[in-house]
Amino acid sequence: MTDIERVDALDKVTGRALYVYDLKFPGMLYAALVKSTVPHGIIKKVDPSRALAREGVEAVITGSQLSHVRAGIYIQDRTPMAAEKVRYLGEPVAAVLARDLRSAREAAEMVEVDYHELSAVVDPREALREGAPLVHEKLQEYHRYQEIKPLPNSNVANVFRLRKGDAQSILQRSDLVVEDTYTEAMISHAYMEPMSVIAWWNPDGTLELWTSAQSPFAVRNLLSKALELSESRIVVHVPYVGGGFGGKAGLHLELLVALLSKAVGGRPVKLTLSREDNFYVAPSKVGVSAEGKVGLSKEGKILALMVNYLVDAGAYADYAVNVGKTMGYIGAGPYDVPNVWIDSTTVYTNKPFATAFRGFGILEAHWVVERLLETASRKLGVDPVQFRLMNRLRPGSTTSTGQRITEGSGDLAKCLQVAADMVGWGSRKSSSHPTYVGRGVALAMKGPSVPPYNSAQAYLKFNEDGTLDVSVGTTEIGQGTMTSIVQLVAEEFGIQPNKVRVDLVKDTSRSAYTWQTVGSRSLFYDGNAVLAAVDDAKSQIRRIASKVFNVEEEEISIGGGKVFVKGGSRALDLKDVVMGYVTANGNVIGSPVVGRGSFVVPDLTYLDSQGQGNPFPVITFGAQSVEVEVDVLTGVVKVNKYVGVFDLGRVVNRGLAMDQLVGGAVMAISLALNESIKFDEGGAILNPNLVDYKVAEIGDVNDNLIGVFLENPDPKGPRGARGIGENALLGIPAAIGNAIYDAIGVSVRDLPITPERLWREIRAQRPELLEV
């Protein structure tokens, strides 16, 4: 297919694109949050009197006033603000509403809160200890998704177990057993548009919201449950979204702002987080530590894998429980391992909480599995590329959950060969002290982590001039799916893309439904739904045209903006058919065409008690390789070259796919080398700002970021295609870690690999490299 121009281009390059951050309404009040100053404590008293006396302040609403409402996507462990007790430092306990932001912010500082401080648990390992302070005392009472099972009287939100074969006994009989422990820091999504919500109640009781969210329909659904308000009484608007990366999936501040608006008689209320508040109040990526163990035969076949994940959710595990679960069920990832044992335990701590992040647990698991297997292959003396080729999943083999791999998932071996060749695997490296060059590879495998029933709708309606309006439920968060949707539709009718308009901004009362804009599912789900709508419209068109031409419907073709009889010379313009064909005497054949479509994958399953089942609607394979340069004296790692090879089934818009590949690569390099939210012992964030939370800058990366796409069509994908947004990151941290080992023989286990951290590892593992 030929790329088309992005459909959101002009709005964005003129600066006219509006985000919730930019919106305001007449009479709107601005909210500011009063945040907890202790990590764990009973709220004894909230005194708003000084704040209320301040000019401009209209109301102060406390958490306890809203404590009757709970929400959450996988476990309803949150109230809109802290009510009886605070569970992390920085948790909102009250909100000030004022006529302008400055008054609201200043008044928020005047609200006095007394706490009875409780002992806090900040370290997830400590949280597991007997007698550790409990973050949630009534865990078992929370409403939850059926697969999530919190342990009463503990800090355990969920334990996911996967058992395939008998890993424990096979490990004892393996020729080589390698074990290691890995950690990954909590990370901020650092999307550029901070979280922002406006809520406004209509006189008829309808709640209207404008939110910087990935998933308007999930917001609506979860609000509906929390507020006991029907979904048709909630209208969620999502204009342009300034980045999400998983951090704006599910429900976040919408419930709070809706209740704030209600508390002031339905006036519009806006809450935009400052960057600092965004670090505390908006959730981040989970922290992980993992103990891995792998058993191999002397020929290099992986016999068994055990991984024990400990997932730090922070104070609320609403979404993190599912991240922890997914980390578990990806199991051995792209490897064919007959015996797999995984425990993934998601725990509460007294820290700001975590949510989905681009890669959703699978990113985290790749760091563990790919580093562990690399270490194993090196110990065994098998070339890491050959080792991966030997042990990879292939058509006919099953994943760790027992899901069967088909040809449709593409050619993993080819991905790896191309990635290895293009990074110069096996060729000479020019190292000279103190700079050492190394290369690393990692495989990548991912499917969307979604409930089996997740689905999408689409519809399209023709206009009188033959142009058409298309609606899908997915949001434009920068990934460009809307453009791919337009391209698919335009191609189907053979018309210019500018004749197809898609609903770039969402309104849940009008837009077609989709579950969420997450997990690289949009092109697959919404793309399939829109093609179903196209097919529906086409059959209506054929029905009309067959009557006009007096031929069978099967003889009608549609293309090039025309409707014609196959092999014949008779043709009509689409516009003369799509509103009904008007005959010479004024009669009408047919009626206006509205195409409707929807999509679901019918044969997905919940996972059973052994973690077995079919969770993935679709699986995408890839391989990623890097060349790094390590300065051993400073510990600085530079990525000289990155190659990402993915079998996407089919590429709809090459430019957009490449944008995801490159943008994802830089995000992954940035988080692998630099990014971590740093906490002190009391759970306070030490770097709640973009000064000391370092996001890759323009000068930090180079141009040597190469993407290659293989196209073995996936029969399930829309015209064979699958998405790439999340896949772009998966193996990169591990490939960097593997390349560092290749360069200097130092094993890194902890992310991020900051210069000081690597310098310490070098000093511990290869002190001779530091001799000067």
Partner 1 sequence: MKIKFRLNGRDVEADVHPSETLLETIRDRFEITSPKGACTQGVCGLCVVLVDGEPLKSCLVLTPEVQDSTVTTLEGIKDERIETVRESFVEKHGFQCGFCTPAFILRTYTLLGRKLSREEIREELKGTLCRCTGYKAIVDSVEEALIKVRE
Partner 2 sequence: MSLLPNFKLELPTDLKEAISELAGGNVVIAAGATRVLLMSYMHILRPEVVVSIRRIGLREIKVSDELEVEANVTLSAVARNERVRKEFPLVAASASHVADPLVRNKATVVGNVVNAVPYSSMVPAFLLMDGKAKVVGPSGPREISAKDFFVGPLETAQRPDELVTSLTFRRVEGEWGFTEFRTDSQLPIINVGVLRNKKGKVRVAYTGLTAMPNLLDLGTMPSDFRGGYREVRNILQDLSTQVLDDLRSSAEYRLHLASVLTARLLEGMGR
Residues that bind partner 1 (CB under 8 A): 5-6, 8-15, 17-19, 21-22, 100-102, 189-194, 240-243, 245, 274-276, 477-480, 655-656, 658-659, 662-667, 689-691, 695-699, 701, 703, 705
CA–CA dist 251, 265 (Å, integer): 23
**Of partner 1, partner 2, none, which one does residue 634 interact with (CB within 5 to 8 Å by kind)?**
partner 2
Closer residue to partner 1 (CB): 279 or 329: 279
On whether the CB atoms of residues 193 and 304 are closer than 8 A, the answer is no
Helix pair angle (362-380, 732-744), 10° resolution: 30
Q: How far is the CB of 157 from partner 1 (least distance, A)?
A: 29
Which segment (119-127, 228-236, 529-537, 673-681) binds partner 2 by CB under 8 A? Answer: 673-681
Residue 36 Cα to chain centre, angstroms: 28
Instruction: List, as one string, the DSSP characters of 45-87.
Output: EEE-HHHHHSTTEEEEEEGGGGTT--B-SSB--B-SS--SEE-
Closer residue to partner 1 (CB): 66 or 724: 724
Q: How far is the CB of 480 from partner 1 (least distance, A)?
A: 7
Closer residue to partner 2 (CB): 434 or 559: 434
Which segment (251-259, 392-400, 540-548, 748-756) binds partner 2 by CB under 8 A? Answer: 748-756
Asked if 764 interacts with partner 2 (CB under 8 A), we say no
Asked if 690 interacts with partner 2 (CB under 8 A), we say yes
Give me the amino acid identity at 357.
Answer: F
**Of partner 2, partner 1, none, which one does residue 696 interact with (CB within 5 to 8 Å by kind)?**
partner 1
Asked if 675 interacts with partner 2 (CB under 8 A), we say yes
Q: Which of residues 22, 126, 231, 276 is near partner 2 by CB under 8 A?
A: 276
Q: How far is the CB of 154 from partner 1 (least distance, A)?
A: 36
Which segment (553-561, 617-625, 638-646, 672-680) binds partner 2 by CB under 8 A? Answer: 672-680
Closer residue to partner 1 (CB): 10 or 53: 10
Q: How far is the CB of 695 from partner 1 (least distance, A)?
A: 6
Give 555's DSSP letter.
G
Distances from the Cα of 541 to the Cα of 401, 501, 554, 631, angstroms: 44, 19, 11, 65
Closer residue to partner 2 (CB): 101 or 264: 101
CA–CA dist 301, 146 (Å, integer): 36
Closer residue to partner 1 (CB): 386 or 704: 704
On whether the CB atoms of residues 732 and 626 are closer than 8 A, the answer is yes
Q: Which of residues 37, 274, 398, 539 is near partner 2 by CB under 8 A?
A: 274
Asked if 99 interacts with partner 2 (CB under 8 A), we say no
Which segment (161-169, 268-276, 378-386, 581-589) binds partner 2 by CB under 8 A? Answer: 268-276
Tokens (6 digits) for 474: 């997915």
Q: How far is the CB of 686 from partner 2 (least distance, A)?
A: 5
Give 679's DSSP letter.
B
Closer residue to partner 2 (CB): 105 or 262: 105
CA–CA dist 708, 415 (Å, integer): 9
CA–CA dist 741, 54 (Å, integer): 60
Closer residue to partner 1 (CB): 507 or 700: 700
On whether the CB atoms of residues 337 and 305 are closer than 8 A, the answer is yes
CA–CA dist 587, 607 (Å, integer): 57
Asked if 229 interacts with partner 2 (CB under 8 A), we say no
Q: Which of residues 687, 712, 747, 765 is near partner 2 by CB under 8 A?
A: 687
Using DSSP's 3-state secondary structure scheme, residue 572 falls into: strand
CA–CA dist 490, 534 (Å, integer): 10
Quote the radius of gyration of the chain (alpha carbons, Å): 27
Which segment (388-396, 528-536, 650-658, 690-698) binds partner 2 by CB under 8 A? Answer: 690-698
Asked if 766 interacts with partner 2 (CB under 8 A), we say no
* CB contact set of 291 (below 8 Å; sequence gap of 6+): 179, 180, 181, 307, 308
Which residue, 202, 296, 273, 213, is CA-closest to 248?
213
Q: How far is the CB of 723 from partner 1 (least distance, A)?
A: 14
On whether the CB atoms of residues 371 and 741 are closer than 8 A, the answer is no
What does residue 385 show for φ and ψ, rounded to 5 degrees? -70, -45
Strands 506-507 and 234-238: antiparallel
**Of partner 2, partner 1, none, which one does residue 686 interact with (CB within 5 to 8 Å by kind)?**
partner 2
Closer residue to partner 1 (CB): 337 or 667: 667
Which residue, 437, 506, 431, is CA-closest to 474?
506
Helix (H) or strand (E) holding 751: strand 750-751
**Of partner 1, partner 2, none, which one does residue 13 interact with (CB within 5 to 8 Å by kind)?**
partner 1
Q: State the burial class of residue 550 (Cβ atoms within 10 Å of its Cβ: 0-12, 13-18, 19+).
A: exposed
On whether the CB atoms of residues 585 and 400 are closer than 8 A, the answer is no
Closer residue to partner 1 (CB): 480 or 590: 480
Binding mask 598-637 for partner 2 (x = CB under 8 A): -----------------------------------xx-x-
Instruction: Please give the residue ranges that form the binding site for partner 2 (CB under 8 A).
Output: 101-102, 105-106, 272, 274-276, 633-634, 636, 674-676, 678, 686-687, 689-692, 694, 752, 754-756, 759-760, 772
